[in-house]
Amino acid sequence: MELKGIEATLRSLLESSTETSIIAVDLDQRITLWNKGAERLLGYSAEEVLGRDVSFIYLEEELRSGRISEMRDRVLRGETFRGEVGQLRKDGKVLRIYLTVTSLKDEDGRIVGFLGIGQDITERAELQEKILHAKRELQAMFDAIPDVIFMRSPDFKIIRANNAAFSYFGGRKILWTPCYGLRGFSSPCPDCPGNEAVSAKKAEPFEFQDRKGKIFRVYQYPVLRADGSLYAVISLMQDVTEAKLLQEKQRELELRLIQESKLSAVGMLASGIAHNINNPLTSIMGRAQLLLMDHPELEEDLSPIIHQAKQIEAIVHNLTYKTRQEQTKKKQRLDLNHLLKQELEFLKADLDFKHKVEKEYDFDESLPPIWGVYSDFSQSLLNIIRNALDAMYKSERKKLTVRTYHDEENIYIEVGDTGCGIPEEVLPHIFEPFFTTKPLAGEAHGDEPTGTGLGLSTCKQLLGGYRAEISVKSKLGEGTTFTVKIPIGPNQYEES
């Protein structure tokens, strides 16, 4: 009686449990028990299913694959089956069920059926799938970033890293090694702001240069736990080599502009001085000439005075002419022979040029004039001539050749040197802005020529407006010849 009471209580407990599905079947698979939980989970009422073959709750593919019959066989052998199976709800939705199956025995211990207890883990499985997907997505995102990123623990061990980090540092073996080891240190890097600053979000990015000369800026961001303590640190290494280089070039360019504006101020000053020299000079010359007329016997003493004064007059004239020309941006009729002669004359201020460079000039005296802005040509041609002189800096024989000639369509200006020549691999780059093989000003040794690499690109830009072409012939160790070809178009003489 007592036992019967307990059995009845247990049975009603099983039947009424709504969280867990409990299904019993006999040896022929016919359903003998279908509790409230099974009703709720699978959508069938007990009346609908009692006595039916249980197979309809399983998935076709799991029945076919023999998984369900294997489960039964195991239970028949006395084992308990525990595992995930699919079950079909009345409305067709597939549920993921964590199923425990044991055998049911009669009083003599003979197996008379099976008891299955199922827990719905569909949501959990779906959540797990979502988490997995999100994780994969995050990793893909992480890997798509070209900057080196890794996550480290507060004690500096690398926990995670992206592909860029693996390929930069040489593979997955960096995981769980200390991050300072990547830079060859045996304790935290001296420039690392440290955990405290990172936690407080006050870590300033720092920069370092690797062995290959690449410059990285390192940013560190904290990952904090709910209680505010440091869980991990994300390190991002941004390659700033190019940006740095550009910054340096820009600085150099600024310096050059400052230098040029200083020069132009000096030029203005000089032309002012030149102008003021003119009056006393005319007076000196006039008096010397008068004196000579009255005292021809003093010719020996007076001639050199007059001669030198004439020299000064010529210099002053050239100076005022050039400054005036450089400052006008208006197009005018230009005699390129005259312009070249002026530039070459001014270069004589450089004593090396005056005394150490052999010069061969050949000007085509019937060169047609060009319609253009004076400084476009003076700047461009001076750069080509300066490049030629720079190239001969170390040459034993320094010979500069400047030649002009023309045919029916074009004017040609040729500048040749006996300098170092241009290596084949350098040649395609010489017109690129900022391309230079010379040290920057301030980094040169002695009087070694310096450069910013803007000369030829500016030439190309300035002369491009006149449809000019610049060609180069060079032989390593022997010298280089630049030829500028300028078309004498019919519109050359019209103001555009």
Ligand X SMILES: Nc1ncnc2c1ncn2[C@@H]1O[C@H](COP(=O)(O)OP(=O)(O)OP(=O)(O)O)[C@@H](O)[C@H]1O
Residue ranges binding Mg ion (CB under 5 A): 383, 387, 455
d(CA 33, CA 488): 107
Quote the Cα angle for 104-105-110, to 5°: 135
- Spatial CA neighbour of 473 closest among 403, 410, 409, 422: 422
- Of residues 7-26, which lie at the interface with ligand X (CB under 6 A)? none
**Separation of alpha carbons 411 and 363, rounded Å:** 12
Joined together, the tokens standing for residue 211 give 């062995």
The Cα–Cα gap between 121 and 72 comes to 22
Determine the Cα–Cα distance for residues 141 and 144; give it in Å rounded to an integer. 5
Kindly state whether residue 393 participates in binding ligand X, applying the rule CB under 6 A.
no
Which option in Mg ion, ligand X, none does residue 422 bind, with CB closer than 5 to 8 A by kind? ligand X
Cβ within 8 Å of residue 242, ≥6 positions away: none
Minimum separation from the CB atom of position 421 to ligand X (A): 6
* 3-class secondary structure, 334: strand
Size of interface with ligand X, in residues (CB under 6 A)? 22
Q: Quick one: which segment of 42-50, 71-79, 301-309, 445-453 binds ligand X (CB under 6 A)?
A: 445-453
Give the phi and the psi of residue 63 in degrees, each rounded to 5.
-70, -45
* Stretch 467-496: interaction string toward ligand X, x if CB under 6 A: -------------x----------------
426 CB neighbour count, 10 Å cutoff: 13
Q: Does residue 385 touch ligand X according to CB under 6 A?
A: no
- Report the nearest approach of ligand X to the CB of residue 471 (Å): 12
- The b/e string for 441-452 (b: 16+ C-beta within 10 A; e otherwise) is eeeeeeeebbbb
- With CB under 5 to 8 Å by kind, the binding choice for 37 among Mg ion, ligand X, none is none
Among ligand X, Mg ion, none, partner that 436 touches (CB below 5 to 8 angstroms by kind): ligand X
- Residue 158, Cβ density class (10 Å: 0-12 exposed, 13-18 middle, ≥19 buried): buried
Site for ligand X contains 387 (CB under 6 A): yes
435 is a site residue for ligand X (CB under 6 A): yes
Nearer Cβ to Mg ion (22/389): 389
The residue range among 39-47, 240-248, 324-332, 432-440 that interacts with ligand X, by the rule CB under 6 A, is: 432-440
Whole-number Å distance between alpha carbons of 266 and 260 = 10
Stretch of 30-38, 98-106, 284-292, 436-444 contacting ligand X, by CB under 6 A: 436-444
Sheet of strand 469-475: strand arrangement: 358-362, 399-406, 410-417, 479-487, 469-475
Between helix 374-391 and helix 455-464 the angle, nearest 10°, is 150
Taking contact as CB under 6 A, which single stretch among the options 13-21, 44-52, 59-67, 382-390 is the one that binds ligand X?
Answer: 382-390
x/- contact string, 447-466, with ligand X (CB under 6 A)? ----xxxxxxx---------
Contact of residue 430 among Mg ion, ligand X, none (CB under 5-8 Å per partner type): ligand X
In the complex, minimum distance from the CB of residue 422 to Mg ion, in angstroms, rounded to a whole number: 12
Q: Which of residues 331 and 429 has its CB atom nearest to ligand X in the complex?
A: 429
377, 458 contact by CB (below 8 A): no
Query: Considering the rule CB under 6 A, would residue 418 count as an interface residue with ligand X?
Result: no
378 lies in the binding site for ligand X (CB under 6 A): no
Q: Which is nearer to ligand X, 163 or 461 (CB)?
A: 461
- Answer for which of 22, 54, 302, 422 binds ligand X (CB under 6 A) is 422
The answer to whether 17 touches 38, Cβ cutoff 8 Å, is no
- Contact between 164 and ligand X (CB under 6 A)? no
Return the range that interacts with ligand X (CB under 6 A); candidates 66-74, 284-292, 324-332, 386-394: 386-394
Contacts with ligand X by CB under 6 A lie at 383, 387-388, 391, 417, 419-420, 422, 426, 430, 435-438, 451-457, 480
